[in-house]
Structure 1
Amino acid sequence: MSKNFGDKLVIAISSRALFNLDESHQVYEQEGLEAYSRYQVEHEDELLEPGEAFPLVKKLLRINEKLEGEPRVEVILLSRNSADTGLRVFNSIEHHGLNITRAAFCGGESPYRYVSAFGCHLFLSTNAEDVCNALDNGVAAATLISSGSRDRKDDELRFAFDGDAVLFSDESERVFKEGGLAAFTQSEKASAKQPMSGGPFKNFLQALHALQAEFPPRTCPIRTALVTARSAPAHERVVRTLRAWDIRIDESLFLGGLDKGSFLKSYGADVFFDDQQAHCESAKSHVATGHVPHGIANPRANPHSNPDGESSS
């Protein structure tokens, strides 16, 4: 964590995750980078509509209004735009009243290089390659999937996480993939008192937990949930792992393989993170969803992305 930000929760967001840039992205795909750059400059006074992560960012920044003293949440813009083509993005940030003052405009290069320099706990993007690179460099990251989910009109911020390969390592999931359910269950029973290693989102969960601790329990604006396909007896190792980490999860759903989508809707998640595409597809029509391309479920040889100035981010 960068010393410049002290004990802040730092979130990095790509411009295409924050705002709807589909129209300019289409210009890029059909006419190329030069036409895209020209289009952005010509339309820089036209405000952008909110993107997939906009409601989440708005609620994150609103947390600062609930605590006295220095802001505890920092949102940083990371973009493949140049500063010239990115002016439209900052104009839209100002219009929507988002307190985002720091940014890296990378002129066509991947911005993942700056997630560590900024001390980010989480990076959200629509570019799978950037997300994979951030994960490989030890930062929690997810590819936001376009969804039909609706923003909940309140200030409470609800995070939902899958367990294996997200909060925890994929060690148990590997046993399941290689040996089936019986082998997985036997292994988890035998290892019930042995905490699992942390997954890519462990540090982000710890930072959230520290922020939650600054509020009285009944008035905390952040709520967390574990939504896992595990069931008893494989639940015990999860409980003991979180206890060993000294982290409190507000709600834990052990679904035993049931479809996650309806449960996430009932929970009212603002965003859900899962490593498996099938679970993300189930969730996306109900809640904003981030795919975490990590672990045995995600063999990623050469993630495809656009080599342009911004279109993918």
Structure 2
Amino acid sequence: MPPTFELVVCITAAALFDCTEAREILNRDGFEACKEHQRANLMVPHQPGVGYPLVRSLLALNEAAEKQLVEVVLISCTDSDSGERIRQSIHHYELPITHEDQVRTVLCGTSSKAFTGIAAALVCSIVNTTPNISSNPIQIPESLHCQESDSKLDMTVLPSEVNTSTKYVPSASLPYLSWPEGQVRIAFDGDSVLFSDQAECVFKTEGLEGFFEFERKHGHIALPKGPMQAFALKFQKLRQSLGENHKWRVRTFLVTARNDVYEIERLFIYVRFPPIFQHLLAFIRTWAQHVGLYGQVYCYLGGYSWAILCAYICHTYLSPIKSLSSIEHFSIDEFFSLVQKIFSTFAQFNWSSQELCLYSKSYKQMTLSNKSSVHNRGSMRIISPSPPYNNTGRSTTNSTRDLIIQEFQCVLQLLDSVNIITCEDKMNALKQILELNNDFPNEKTKSLLQLTLSSENIHEIDEWIGWIKSRLVRFVNDCEEECHLIIQTQCSIEYQSNNTEAFYSLAFQLDPQTLDQHQNFFRCLKKCLHQFNLYPNRKTSMKVSYKIVSIHDWKLERMQPKLQRIIK
């Protein structure tokens, strides 16, 4: 009879309990000495191992939900004495682990060679997508070669260097991690875990340049599925089964090194995604929309100790947030408090002034004397997550410009205690951000794409612009990659006095005639306009049109009665 549990997890005894002492005796004195040791300590329970906190937390979900959602299966190759001690340890800690009698009976006295086949058959009979947890990377892989295909079985191998004697923390290597009691957190790597190892293979065969070229060409194509995607989907289904009152008990995180560590601010600040970043997000967004799985926090890190640093930030600073349905729902105080804490974490590292990146990498460093020019300014905005998040965005009149300036002021105040970053560097960073909003269009631009947005009231326009801004990002990148057009993405938004119409302008470094004759440009624009019409709260009164004008004509229009002008 197939299991009715939402999630079934197989775990070895060495992962569930700390068996290092018995293992050392086995390696040093032999099998008989190990059996004697286990027999003499039969009633002495093992200490919790590296997988114990996870198992305890998973089983606690059943109690919270008052129904059987999670099943934990013990599967190990042990002799009769070791198996009996493990059984006594399970009873000591009152762990409701099933199949324990069956596994012990089948495997006691079984040779290691025969174990692989028996274990494989047992696991396959339990569930096709059951994750196996082991503290020994050699212990289970052979068992995956069973009659079922390898892709149907997922295995999580815990690092061997992690101390398995800890009682209350998931890893002795990270003793400072903590989160709300009763909450389970799973962090997934990107490549080769949630997604396939396609990118890894390209990197190994063609090198870094080949890898970047591959990402540029395939940025619009979703990444193939990885070996742990089935488990992630099961985990999300488990979360949904907990109900609204207990969803906070299950949290998922995506940890990936697909971006630069100096642009960690992209967790909350968007600075035009490079092609390699689009590739990843394309998959995340389509996957989230179609299968309902999403990580409540996306942390894009690179360089040194990125996984540990990400885990530290998530577990330490996101603990108070029990339900994160949308970043857009944060209050201003909550938002900046969280950003401050994240930046303070990075402030402890030895950044030099040249490496300080508080603004888009398209900038050139310049001093207060303006000796070096600044060009190709990139746009920045608060990220507006794709569905199932609320994607309407913050009110336009209260969002991008003020929030960016306010956030960087907070960051600069935070970094005041870091002596290696000079006051001049920090003031320079803020000055460039402030100047972003006072230089539209710059002297190199020759034409504007002006979108006219109309609706019945200013509130509807504000919400629609929040949606449109998130869609314009892809249009900007398409123009730069497919059409080879340079766009000054620091746009302007102008409201008419009746508050029922607004102009959204993007500046180009090409004259209007060239744009009119550019087929790829209009193909990208048509695709972008189609996205505008997909706004879920769109009303019949909401309309959009466009025109391409020269900078000269645009300036002449602005000499007419002045409009209420808000720079974004």
Judge same fold: TM > 0.5, yes or no: yes
8 Å Cα contact 2:188/2:253 also seen in 1: yes
Show the counterpart of 1:277: none
Q: Name the CA distance, whole Å, in 2 between partners of 1:237 and 1:135.
A: 31
Show the counterpart of 1:116: 124
**Equivalent residues in 2 for 1:126-275 (5 A)?**
126-134=135-143, 137-138=150-151, 139-145=153-159, 146-147=162-163, 148=172, 149-150=174-175, 152=178, 154-214=181-241, 215-216=243-244, 219-231=247-259, 232-245=274-287, 246=291, 247-260=293-306, 261-268=308-315
Q: Name the CA distance, whole Å, in 2 between partners of 1:48 and 1:33.
A: 19
Q: Name the CA distance, whole Å, in 2 between partners of 1:254 and 1:81.
A: 42
TM-score normalised over the length of structure 1: 0.78
**Unpaired runs of at least 5, structure 2:** 164-171, 260-273, 317-568
8 Å Cα contact 1:212/1:222 also seen in 2: yes
SS in structure 2 opposite 1:79? coil
**Equivalent residues in 2 for 1:81-100 (5 A)?**
81-100=78-97
SS in structure 2 opposite 1:196? coil
Measure how far apart 1:17 and its partner are.
Answer: 0.6
Q: Name the CA distance, whole Å, in 2 between partners of 1:128 and 1:249.
A: 27
Measure how far apart 1:219 and its partner are.
Answer: 4.0
8 Å Cα contact 2:5/2:71 also seen in 1: no
Q: Which has the higher contact order (CA 8 A, sep 6+)?
A: 1
Runs of 4+ in 1 over 4 A off after TM superposition: none
8 Å Cα contact 2:42/2:81 also seen in 1: no
SS in structure 2 opposite 1:212? helix
Measure how far apart 1:167 and its partner are.
Answer: 1.1
Provide, for residues 123-174 of structure 1, a one-character-per-residue CA deviation record: whole Å limited to 9, x for no partner.
0112222343355533221222224233736211111111111111101111
8 Å Cα contact 2:17/2:52 also seen in 1: yes
Show the counterpart of 1:33: 31
SS in structure 2 opposite 1:169? coil
- Which residue type is aligned with residue 42 of structure 1? A
Residues 244, 7 of structure 1: alpha-carbon distance in 2 compared, 3 angstrom cutoff: farther
Q: Name the CA distance, whole Å, in 2 between partners of 1:134 and 1:230.
A: 32
Residues 258, 39 of structure 1: alpha-carbon distance in 2 compared, 3 angstrom cutoff: closer
Residues 20, 256 of structure 1: alpha-carbon distance in 2 compared, 3 angstrom cutoff: closer
Identity %: 29
Q: Name the CA distance, whole Å, in 2 between partners of 1:92 and 1:12.
A: 17
Pairs aligned (count): 266
Q: Name the CA distance, whole Å, in 1 between partners of 2:44 and 2:69.
A: 31
TM-score normalised over the length of structure 2: 0.44
Residues 121, 21 of structure 1: alpha-carbon distance in 2 compared, 3 angstrom cutoff: same
Provide, for residues 98-139 of structure 1, a one-character-per-residue CA deviation record: whole Å limited to 9, x for no partner.
111213232343454132222152101122223433555332
- Which residue type is aligned with residue 7 of structure 2? L
8 Å Cα contact 1:123/1:134 also seen in 2: no
Residues 34, 221 of structure 1: alpha-carbon distance in 2 compared, 3 angstrom cutoff: same
Q: Name the CA distance, whole Å, in 2 between partners of 1:179 and 1:130.
A: 33
Q: Name the CA distance, whole Å, in 1 between partners of 2:277 and 2:226.
A: 17
Q: Name the CA distance, whole Å, in 2 between partners of 1:130 and 1:94.
A: 25
8 Å Cα contact 2:301/2:310 also seen in 1: no
**Unpaired runs of at least 5, structure 1:** 270-313
Q: 1:24 aligned to 2:29?
A: no
Q: Name the CA distance, whole Å, in 2 between partners of 1:4 and 1:226.
A: 31
8 Å Cα contact 2:222/2:282 also seen in 1: yes
Q: Name the CA distance, whole Å, in 1 between partners of 2:157 and 2:188.
A: 14
Q: When you count helix as a share of all residues, which structure comes out higher?
A: 2
Q: Name the CA distance, whole Å, in 1 between partners of 2:213 and 2:303.
A: 17
8 Å Cα contact 1:16/1:125 also seen in 2: yes
Q: Name the CA distance, whole Å, in 2 between partners of 1:186 and 1:131.
A: 37
Please provide the CA RMSD for this pair.
2.2
SS in structure 2 opposite 1:56? helix
- Which residue type is aligned with residue 51 of structure 2? A
Show the counterpart of 1:306: none
Name which of structure 1's ranges 107-116 and 18-27 shifts more when overlaid on structure 2. Answer: 107-116
**Equivalent residues in 2 for 1:274-285 (5 A)?**
none
- Which residue type is aligned with residue 234 of structure 1? I
Q: Name the CA distance, whole Å, in 2 between partners of 1:242 and 1:135.
A: 28
Q: Name the CA distance, whole Å, in 1 between partners of 2:24 and 2:217.
A: 53
Q: Name the CA distance, whole Å, in 2 between partners of 1:23 and 1:216.
A: 44
